Amino acid sequence: MQVFDDEDDYEFFLKLLKTGLERENIELHAYCLMPNHFHLLLVPQGENSLSQFMQWVMTSWGIIIKNKTSGHIWQGRFKSFIVEKRKFLSNFDALYRG
């Protein structure tokens, strides 16, 4: 299933991300948007901010594109991994090789 259909979708999703990042006080260090999924390299500043951010972004995007598609957009809960500071730069590369 496609998550992004055209340039407008990508641009609007980036605006949505920016709003969510500001709402939950999260730092974005890298992102990669692909037609059927996305990767984010984030540093949450609060204890529950990552979960709240992802719930808000994924629910908001689902509501926005529900008129374009049928069925589920996401295949379950988001996945998150802790990145050690010394491996931070190598994770940028891994993010883009997705």
CA 44 to chain centre: 13
Interval 4-53: pLDDT, tens = 889 999 999 999 999 999 999 999 988 989 888 888 888 999 888 999 99
User: What span, in angstroms and rounded, lies between the C-alpha atoms of 54 and 14?
Assistant: 13
pLDDT at 24: 94
Residue 78 has pLDDT above 70, yes or no: no
Q: Look up the pTM and report it.
A: 0.75
User: What span, in angstroms and rounded, lies between the C-alpha atoms of 41 and 83?
Assistant: 9
pLDDT at 36: 84
Q: Which run of H or E residues covers position 37?
A: strand 37-44
pLDDT at 89: 59
- Greatest CA separation for the chain: 43
User: What span, in angstroms and rounded, lies between the C-alpha atoms of 62 and 53?
Assistant: 14
- Helices 49-65, 7-24: inter-axial angle, 10-degree rounding: 150
Query: Alpha carbon of 4 to those of 10, 60, 66, 67: distances in Å?
Result: 6, 14, 12, 13
Greater pLDDT, 86 or 44 = 44
For the chain, the domains span: 7-97
